[in-house]
Structure 1
Amino acid sequence: MGNLLGSWRFKEPSTVEECDSTWGSDSEDDEPAVEDDSGVSDSVSPERERAAGDSSPQLAEPRDSLPKMKRSFYAARDLYKYRHSYPNYRKSRQPNEYRNLCFYLNKIPLVPDGIYIEEILTKWRGDYDKLEHNHTYIQWLFPLREQGLNFYAHELTQDEIKEFQSTREAKRRFLAAYSIMLDFYGIKLLDKSGNVARASNWQERFQHLNESQHNYLRITRILKSLGELGYEAFKAPLVRLFLEESLCHNTLPNMQHSVLEYFVYTIRLPATRRQLLRYARQHYRPAHAFLWGPPPKRRGGGGAEGSVGAGSSGIRAPAPTPEPQRRAEESSPTASSGIIVSSHDAMMCQELGGEGLKSSAGLGSSMSRLEGALMMAGARGEMNDYSEIVPL
């Protein structure tokens, strides 16, 4: 029995929908039995709900003229593993190998640079060139249970996380490091609850952040590390600020996709993710292109009244023709010269409208993006985004 259990491995999800439990009956272990669905976002008016989910003049355009975008499966799977505490994670190291904790206790320097944490905390604040161009420190300041680009950095373990969370000196330095990075991004930490706001240098730093997109990978790592080391509550205020700046104030327009595809999904509580996504949906333009909303409703297996949801193309096919109207059209003298679509074919069109033309996607050109692999696939000249995370 022991060998059997030891050889069992968690089966990874194979679709975005399996990775994203935000809008369904979530089974994540860290979710309380009763979810509180209030607080973060303003309520969405019925008019805005209809605008986001129903047909509009834009949706009436020919299918070939609208871009078809899909959620990134690689991003969804990566963040699913994180939120579920890395299923299939290997056995922990021994206590004397707690390299991340030793670094934060100022006992060892980060490798390969040989810099101690106290030097970073006392000399690096405001040195934006160093924070921008050095790519080895971020894995030491914000450790995770996954390998980053600095292979000298050590991955966290569950035992080390417990030890870290019970060590006041390490936690104090961790929050100081978080404050330094926020200042680098033009943000200030307001209190011990994690609330944040624009810093005095926000205009200059936001402009840099909007153009220096490799920092979005760093922010994803920072958010993950906050959750690992006991500061899960700090995530939502920061993500909310990024949503507001990118969607409402247009100060970080290049960040929109990263906030919705990555930052929001580092948050472990589904109720909080829903609140943030409702806020985003309220301000996202064009509304029909919002991919992160609730999935289409399925009624009677046909989904005739389904709305645009996560992973859809943003295009809704017309509902099947009502039976009395169909019979009248078939019996009319001009029926033979027209094109008659059966209710079955109409249903198929609707499924294609809700899920996209999966079989017609072809391989397009590839380019480097966010220091990771970005593959763009085109179907009839339309783009699908498949961004594979390269964790920092």
Structure 2
Amino acid sequence: MGNLLGSWRYKEPSTVEECDSTWGSDSESDETAEDDSGICDSLSPAESERNAAEAGDMSPQLTDSPESLPKIKRSFYAARDLYKYRHSYPNFKKPRQPNEYRNLRFYLNKIPLVPDGIYVEEILTKWRGDYDKLEHNHTYIQWLFPLREQGLNFYAHELTQDEIKEFQSTREAKRRFLAAYSLMLDFYGIKLLDKYGNVARASNWQERFQHLNESQHNYLRITRILKSLGELGYEAFKAPLVRFFLEESLCNNTLPNMQHSILEYFVYTIRQPTSRRRLLRYARQYYRPAHAFLWGPPPKRRGGGAGSGGSVGGGAGSSGIRAPASTPEHQRRGEESSGVVLPLMML
């Protein structure tokens, strides 16, 4: 048995479909049993479409034949990154640094973040509402929201499984972590409502949403925040935040530039396939143009059998009409794959 385990090697996914297990256990009964319309029941799809048109954000109608339209795909780099995260980094290697629990010690206010020399308590007490500082400082986010992967601040330390366990059992660290989450939500115009992770608009939402819609590098930060919530014991907080962003971007048209990042990144930080399906079904109701929605289940095979012409791989990630605008995350993944190192200011 030991020899068998020792000889096993992790095979990295090579396609979007191999990375995405969202629809793998889906069924017709599951498809119809869950009703997500209550998330945005004040707007019907027709009303949502009309509002978007009135706002001048309506996409062009389909005019060409399907054969002449370009085929677009989801980002493989995004799918692979989130696959590794959801599966706890199957090819994980020990961090370069000794396991000193530096993330935990930072949250216990015993050491400052590097390179700025700032303690977490100062950030939590003095930075709240200082939106210029939160926007333009690019080193604190890796310390406030640590991950088991190296970020762009190479002074920040990667989490380890042992440190995660210790962190989750330390009340003081967890209290400050939630305070840091609340701090960033306020920066984005959102408030944390309860211990279950439910969120709502804050009083400053209009100003902050306008900034968030224009400052798209913050979408990288939000992806990191969602990942860190899952690592440190707050997996249940992700779906309420992602659902909130979907409603604001698709129904209310307050964050239209965020749509692609939500669907390509935020949703796929959630580890439970049922939760991802619920969010994607909701998004599919309100996404416009509907024919460009890339994240639904693959089309059903025709002719039965694995050898027939249709393939599952041609589904959720390989069809569509209009490619969404490129995002900083797309650019970062592509540049990372080319060996290009981005400066810290990108995060």
TM-score range for the pair, normalised by the shorter chain length: 0.7 to 0.9
Are 1:240 and 2:246 matched, yes or no? no
Within 5 Å, give how 1:233-382 maps onto structure 2: 233-301=236-304, 302=308, 309-314=315-320, 369-370=328-329, 372-373=331-332
The question of whether the paired residues in 1 share the 8 Å contact of 2:77 and 2:334 is answered with: no
> Which residue does 2:161 correspond to in 1?
158
The question of whether the paired residues in 2 share the 8 Å contact of 1:35 and 1:271 is answered with: no
In structure 2, distance between residues paired with 1:293 and 1:287: 11
> Which residue does 1:181 correspond to in 2?
184
Larger % of helix: which?
2
> Alpha-carbon deviation of 1:62?
3.1
RMSD (CA atoms): 3.5
Give the AA of the match of 1:276.
L
Unaligned runs of 5+ in 2: 46-59
In structure 2, distance between residues paired with 1:250 and 1:204: 15
> Alpha-carbon deviation of 1:314?
2.8
CA deviations over 1:285-305 (Å, ceiling 9, x no partner)? 000000000001003254689
CA deviations over 1:34-57 (Å, ceiling 9, x no partner)? 99974755599xx98xxxxxxxx9
Within 5 Å, give how 1:5-24 maps onto structure 2: 5-6=5-6, 8-24=8-24
In structure 2, distance between residues paired with 1:285 and 1:108: 48
> Which residue does 1:145 correspond to in 2?
148
> Which residue does 1:69 correspond to in 2?
72
In structure 2, distance between residues paired with 1:15 and 1:287: 24
In structure 2, distance between residues paired with 1:311 and 1:17: 7
In structure 1, distance between residues paired with 2:102 and 2:333: 32
> Greater CA radius of gyration, 1 or 2?
1
> Alpha-carbon deviation of 1:131?
0.3
* C-alpha distance 195-208 of structure 1, shift in aligned 2 (>3 A): same
Give the AA of the match of 2:91.
N
> Which residue does 2:57 correspond to in 1?
none
In structure 2, distance between residues paired with 1:109 and 1:304: 56
- TM superposition score normalised by structure 2: 0.81
Q: Which piece of structure 1 moves more, 145-154 or 1-10?
A: 1-10
Larger % of strand: which?
1
Q: Which of the numbers 63, 84, 88 marks the counterpart of 2:91?
A: 88
Q: Secondary structure at the match of 2:200?
A: strand
Unaligned runs of 5+ in 1: 27-33, 49-56, 316-366, 377-387
* C-alpha distance 64-299 of structure 1, shift in aligned 2 (>3 A): closer
Give the AA of the match of 2:320.
G
Q: Secondary structure at the match of 2:178?
A: helix
CA deviations over 1:222-259 (Å, ceiling 9, x no partner)? 00000000000000000001001111111000000000
Number of positions where the alignment pairs a residue of Structure 1 with one of Structure 2: 313
> Alpha-carbon deviation of 1:61?
1.9
Q: How much identity, in percent, do the aligned residues show?
A: 83
The question of whether the paired residues in 1 share the 8 Å contact of 2:95 and 2:158 is answered with: no
